[in-house]
Amino acid sequence: MNKVEIKFENKEIRGVWRDQADESVWAEIFKYREYRASEDAIKQAKTIFDIGAHAGFFTLYAKALNPAVKVVCVEPENNNIQTLNKNLELNSIGDGIKVISGALVPKAGRYVLKISQDSHNHQVASKAEGIPKELAQSVVGYTFTKLLKHTKTVSVDLLKMDIEGYEKDILEALTQDEWQAIRNIVLEYHGGDGQRAYAEAILRKNGFSVLVHPSQFDKTMGIIFARNKKV
């Protein structure tokens, strides 16, 4: 495990890397600022939901931009949660942070997390069928409404999602009331232009303006930032 530091927004940000996936996510957020389209929304936000919080790097980024913001970190994988808490501790961040062990899903219940070889590419599945026992972790699945109730939150100023291709299922499942509870969305899309276009169409259909920033490293991925024009 390597300890790293970077100067960001005139602040010293500290973190730990366990593998190349951690290093890659850290670079995406702090070095290349791939979430820069969401920075104004972060600075103005009162509440952020960090879905797929991984090791907490996006939460460190958000708190550096807006120290007063409340962040709800939702992460299903146990080792990631331990590292997330370590990174919060290294940066003396505790106030305004709630860490939830679980996953955002279309329908509440118990799910299975397929553990990947690295720390970042775990995937949520509805059944353990076809997943080796040693690679399957049981997780609690929360709908967006359940997360709002669980955290006593009325609306979310920024919904961030990095959930390894599962973002399409979440967007499809959101109800009209849930859409209206979200002011801004920033998500990492996966699967190339087809999946990007599909996610973009759902967002526009539900009253969001959309900006797309393809990854400079992987043409099948990128960041979508969407703003709710109705709120």
Q: Which residue segments constitute the domains of the chain, with CATH numbers given? A: 2-228 (3.40.50.150)
Measured CA to CA in angstroms, residue 128 lies from 26, 103, 105, 123 at distances of 31, 16, 16, 11
Residue-wise pLDDT for 164-187, tens only, equals 778 999 999 999 999 999 999 999
Which of 190, 187, 185 is closest to 208 using CA atoms?
Answer: 185
Predicted pLDDT at 118: 66
Is the pLDDT at 188 greater than 90, yes or no? yes
Residue-wise pLDDT for 130-142, tens only, equals 778 777 788 999 9
Which of 58, 45, 40, 37 is closest to 157 using CA atoms?
Answer: 45
Predicted pLDDT at 91: 96
Residue range 4-10: mean pLDDT, rounded: 93
What's the rounded Cα separation, in Å, for the pair 29 and 26?
Answer: 5
Is the pLDDT at 209 greater than 70, yes or no? yes
Tell me, rounded to whole angstroms, the distance of Cα 216 from its chain centroid. 20
Question: 157 Cβ partners below 8 Å, 6+ apart?
Answer: 41, 44, 45, 46, 47, 48, 183, 184
Predicted pLDDT at 117: 74
Mean pLDDT for the chain overall: 92
Q: Are 63 and 73 in contact (CB under 8 A)?
A: no
Beta strands per DSSP E along 162-221? 184-189, 208-214
Is the pLDDT at 126 greater than 80, yes or no? no
First-to-last alpha carbon distance for the chain, in angstroms, is 43
Residue range 191-212: mean pLDDT, rounded: 94
Is the pLDDT at 115 greater than 90, yes or no? no
Q: Are 147 and 106 in contact (CB under 8 A)?
A: no
> Could you say which DSSP state residue 36 is in?
G
Which of 173, 170, 156, 141 is closest to 74 using CA atoms?
Answer: 141
Q: Are 223 and 213 in contact (CB under 8 A)?
A: yes
Predicted pLDDT at 124: 82
Higher pLDDT, 135 or 113: 113
**Complete edge-to-edge strand list for the sheet that includes strand 109-114:** 103-104, 136-142, 109-114, 123-125
Is the pLDDT at 111 greater than 70, yes or no? yes
Is the pLDDT at 58 greater than 80, yes or no? yes
